[in-house]
Amino acid sequence: MPKYRLMTPGPTQVPEDALLRMARQVTHHRTAEFRELFAEALEGLKYVVQTSGDVIVLTSSGTGGMESAVTNFVPRGGKAIVLEAGRFAERWSEICAAFGIEVVKLEVPWGEAVDPAQVAALLADHPDAVAVYGTLMESSTGVGHDVKAIAEVVRESDALFVVDAISGGGVMECRFDDWGIDVLVIGSQKALMLPPGLAFVAVSEKAWQRAEAVDAQAFYFDLKQYRDKLAGDPDTPFTPAHTMIAALAENLRLIRREGIETVWERARVLGRATRAGITAIGLEVFAQRPADGLTSVRLPDDLDGAAFLKSLEARFGIKVAGGQGHLKGKIFRIAHMGIVDELDILGTLAAIELVLDQMGWHVELGAGATAATQVLAGRVGSAV
Amino acid sequence: MPKYRLMTPGPTQVPEDALLRMARQVTHHRTAEFRELFAEALEGLKYVVQTSGDVIVLTSSGTGGMESAVTNFVPRGGKAIVLEAGRFAERWSEICAAFGIEVVKLEVPWGEAVDPAQVAALLADHPDAVAVYGTLMESSTGVGHDVKAIAEVVRESDALFVVDAISGGGVMECRFDDWGIDVLVIGSQKALMLPPGLAFVAVSEKAWQRAEAVDAQAFYFDLKQYRDKLAGDPDTPFTPAHTMIAALAENLRLIRREGIETVWERARVLGRATRAGITAIGLEVFAQRPADGLTSVRLPDDLDGAAFLKSLEARFGIKVAGGQGHLKGKIFRIAHMGIVDELDILGTLAAIELVLDQMGWHVELGAGATAATQVLAGRVGSAV
């Protein structure tokens, strides 16, 4: 009867106060009490995103947020550039196609990062592109893209810069206003430590202005309807998943108490510790520009990956994520975001060693923990 | 410190097992365990809707379900008939307008029921209508529409019959297959006794066939993507609000144990008891064809409605709903669905009397409870 240890990049472990909040009897949502709680949550979301502008709360999974970030800003027949460097970036292209938007793709091999210079070149070739769609932390590959540098490039053009930060927002440094991002989408079940069910969309003033000219192919995801309910005591145009918003407010209090920069730094260190441990065990990190919130690990060709993951769960209750798309069976992914902490990572590394050993693999037992604790103790530099 | 007694037509009170289910630590959703739970929930939903066909689970509020019931079945430029008899029926028209669908409205005064003969006449005038959009229980007016009779009329035409049963599904008798409904939408926070966050869409074989020919203006709400994940071990195309689906499975067990026909009959009796009590108190039921799941009550012109509702909540913790749209300040609404039971209704009637008395209104104290208990004890016929 192993304990369950959720180490996937979404959903992530949910803090106790948020869980208990969702166990409280439901109250009505069109009340002063809810609007007060909603206002608090919105302030917390702005803090996480680092914006003084609007953040819209949608009752949907992250994909719904992505759809809103397409249909509100690019008209049918318009052109969009998609920085396609993984499974979730592909989703931008799929959404555009569903709504009759022309897509120009920058295809990047999975595991590699988007090169800002290539974005600049593509923008020069397509000055009529209405928006550039990118990803902060591509959870299918474990790559953290250089959103700051890409934003600088896009700012030189006339296009909006839209970022899928569904898994990255709240764990990887990302400064919406300072970096000049126009639209950014976050999911509830990643760094914000909730179950799935909410998506958050930050919108810049420039993006709102562009949206005015677009006949949005949207109703439920018509962001203007949501914005118009935010003035004064904030409310929502449609019934929100308000018990989750109450739980969100709990989690945002935790984040504000710790400080977002501390949260980012903690993930950076955990990422370095995880990579050091994985390497010491003799495995290989897959991503060429590793994200702060998850580590993708190549499964050796001669290892039965399915049996390995199954044993991790059966013996230790550790649930990591396998690969997606053409990476299925090729990698596994360990999250370090939300309330995942140092001991969760050390435990996961030890479990990996023990399972590999059990499977007859040659492992120097303790090597992972040794390397990781060196990082956690600050004994090795940030170059790892 | 009054107890909180939620008596609104959504959200409704959530049973304890469902609440506690949502307090459990989150597990991963791409697992055999989740698919098994999902399969169970789907079976329960089919039972509630009385269909052997597909029910799609969307992570959204009911409006998202309505949007899917428009964009998947009527193409841009197509024509739809909307039976506009209340605030929520208007939403059908708004969604159609947002997606370039021509709307022919049957405008029915709020509080009255749709006349099936008028639907037949409209269908004769518009043989090119692709679908007819109606409502089972219009929670803005408290009217229960004769969906069975309307379905018979629509079946004579070439149009699909699409029903908003967001608040009515699971509390008012509605037999999807037998009555020949094509698409039906239910919300989670009404008779299914969950917090808001999920919508359920039943789809007939005929409707699926029509959908094949439609270039859906949809991605997140593209129902075909969901259907394609239902074969075998069911799954979802996008991350579902799986903790709510687990709680849903708990509630569906309660409904299956009681039996859907017993659930419907219980609501019918509660509705009759509520109306008898309201009338005995000297107030007037607003709806001309009252729904089984809620009772709308006219606020007397010389009563300060806001103060009345405020006192109900302050003194007794009873939260009923006010009016919406042009009925704001004109009616209030009491729900009798889900786990709302006989004593909740008797308590609400007594609270109404005590507050009216406190406000200097002439009330025969006990009249409401007396009339209602007569109904509950089976002493009066079903004519009430």
Do A8 and B23 count as a contact with CB atoms less than 8 A apart?
no
Name every chain A residue with its beta carbon within 8 A of the beta carbon of B187.
239
For residue B194, being part of any structural domain is answered with: yes
| pLDDT for the residue B366 | 97
Q: Which of A202, A232, A258 is the last residue of a domain?
A: A258
Rounded distance between C-alpha atoms, residue A58 and residue A226, angstroms: 9
B384: pLDDT strictly greater than 70: no
Residue A51's closest CA among A154, A138, A169? A169
Q: Which of A220, A242, A258 is the last residue of a domain?
A: A258
> Based on the domain organization, do B292 and B251 belong to the same domain?
no
In CATH, what number is assigned to the domain containing residue A367? Answer: 3.90.1150.10
For residue A381, being part of any structural domain is answered with: no
Contact A80, A72 (CB under 8 A): no
- At residue A197, φ and ψ (nearest 5 deg) are 145, -15
> Based on the domain organization, do B125 and B32 belong to the same domain?
yes
Of B26, B219, B221, the CB nearest to A14: B26
> Based on the domain organization, do A175 and A223 belong to the same domain?
yes
Do A98 and B222 count as a contact with CB atoms less than 8 A apart?
yes
Please give the distance of CA B89 from its chain centroid, rounded to a whole number. 12
> Based on the domain organization, do A27 and A127 belong to the same domain?
yes
Tell me the per-residue pLDDT of B254-288, one tens digit each, with 9 for 90 and over: 999 999 999 999 999 999 999 999 999 999 999 99
Residues 6+ apart with CB under 8 A from B213: none
Rounded distance between C-alpha atoms, residue B20 and residue A51, angstroms: 36
Do A98 and B218 count as a contact with CB atoms less than 8 A apart?
yes
| pLDDT for the residue B313 | 96
> Based on the domain organization, do B215 and B333 belong to the same domain?
no
Task: Show the DSSP H helices in A201-259 as ranges.
Answer: 205-212, 223-227, 242-258
B2 confidence band (pLDDT: 50, 70, 90): confident
Domain interval for residue B198: 16-258
| pLDDT for the residue A383 | 58
**Which of B3, B12, B37, B61 should we substitute to test contact with A (largest number of A Cβ atoms within 10 Å)?**
B61
Name every chain A residue with its beta carbon within 8 A of the beta carbon of B61.
59, 220, 238-241
Low-confidence ranges of chain A (pLDDT < 50): none
Tell me the per-residue pLDDT of B35-88, one tens digit each, with 9 for 90 and over: 999 999 999 999 999 999 999 999 999 999 999 999 999 999 999 999 999 999
What residues form DSSP beta bridges with B333?
A: B296, B321
Q: Is residue A105 packed enough to be buried (19+ CB in 10 Å), middle (13-18) or exposed (0-12)?
A: middle
- At residue A25, φ and ψ (nearest 5 deg) are -55, 145
For residue B382, being part of any structural domain is answered with: no
Do A6 and B20 count as a contact with CB atoms less than 8 A apart?
no
Q: Which pair of tokens denotes residue B149?
A: 């009779």
> Based on the domain organization, do B270 and B242 belong to the same domain?
no
| pLDDT for the residue A380 | 85
Number of C-beta neighbours around residue B259 at 10 A? 12
B1: pLDDT strictly greater than 70: no
Taking only residues 270 to 309 of chain A, the set having a beta carbon closer than 8 angstroms to any beta carbon of chain B reads none
For residue A132, being part of any structural domain is answered with: yes
Do B61 and A29 count as a contact with CB atoms less than 8 A apart?
no
Q: What is the 3-state secondary structure (H, E, C) of chain B?
A: CCCCEECCCCCCCCCHHHHHHHCCCCCCCCCHHHHHHHHHHHHHHHHHHCCCCEEEEEECCHHHHHHHHHHCCCCCCCEEEEEECCHHHHHHHHHHHHCCCEEEEEECCECECCCHHHHHHHHHHCCCCCEEEEECEECCCCEECCHHHHHHHHHCCCCEEEEECCCCECCECCCHHHHCCCEEEEECCCCCCCCCCEEEEEECHHHHHHHHCCCCCCCCCCHHHHHCCCCCCCCCCCCCCHHHHHHHHHHHHHHHHHCHHHHHHHHHHHHHHHHHHHHHHCCEECCCCECCCEEEEECCCCCCHHHHHHHHHHHHCEECEECCHHHCCCEEEEECCCCCCHHHHHHHHHHHHHHHHHCCCCCCCCHHHHHHHHHHCCCCCCCC
Strands A160-164 and A294-298: unpaired
Name every chain A residue with its beta carbon within 8 A of the beta carbon of B29.
11, 196
Q: Which helix (H) or strand (E) holds A279?
A: helix A260-281
Do B195 and A242 count as a contact with CB atoms less than 8 A apart?
yes
Residues 6+ apart with CB under 8 A from B10: A239, B139, B166, B167, B187, B189, B190, B196, B335
C-alpha distance from A201 to closest chain B C-alpha (Å): 15
For residue A71, being part of any structural domain is answered with: yes
For residue A384, being part of any structural domain is answered with: no
Name every chain A residue with its beta carbon within 8 A of the beta carbon of B191.
none
Q: Tell whether ipTM is more than 0.90.
A: yes
**Overall average pLDDT of the B327-342 stretch:** 97
Residue entry with tokens 């689970």: B57
Taking only residues 137 to 196 of chain B, the set having a beta carbon closer than 8 angstroms to any beta carbon of chain A reads 187, 189, 195-196
pTM score over 0.80: yes
> Based on the domain organization, do A194 and A223 belong to the same domain?
yes
For residue A197, being part of any structural domain is answered with: yes
Q: Which pair of tokens denotes residue B331?
A: 């009616």
Alpha-carbon distances of B202 from A32, A61, B69, B210, B247, rounded to whole Å:
35, 20, 9, 14, 20
For residue B278, being part of any structural domain is answered with: yes
B113: pLDDT strictly greater than 80: yes
In CATH, what number is assigned to the domain containing residue B165? Answer: 3.40.640.10
Do B239 and A95 count as a contact with CB atoms less than 8 A apart?
no
Contact A292, A247 (CB under 8 A): no
- Rg (C-alpha) for chain A, rounded Å, is 21
> Based on the domain organization, do A127 and A73 belong to the same domain?
yes
| pLDDT for the residue B314 | 95
> Based on the domain organization, do A59 and A21 belong to the same domain?
yes
Name every chain B residue with its beta carbon within 8 A of the beta carbon of A13.
25-26
Residue B203 φ/ψ region, left for φ over 0, alpha for ψ in the -120 to 50 degree band, beta for the rest: beta
| pLDDT for the residue B94 | 98
> Based on the domain organization, do B43 and B130 belong to the same domain?
yes
- How many domains is chain B built from? 2
Contact A62, A187 (CB under 8 A): yes
Name every chain A residue with its beta carbon within 8 A of the beta carbon of B221.
220
What angle do helix axes A260-281 and A342-358 make, rounded to 10 degrees?
20
> Based on the domain organization, do B212 and B89 belong to the same domain?
yes
> Based on the domain organization, do A254 and A282 belong to the same domain?
no
In whole numbers, what is the pLDDT of chain B averaged over residues?
A: 97
CB pairs under 8 A between A and B: 166
In whole numbers, what is the pLDDT of chain A averaged over residues?
A: 97
| pLDDT for the residue B365 | 97
Q: Which of A190, A223, A258 is the last residue of a domain?
A: A258
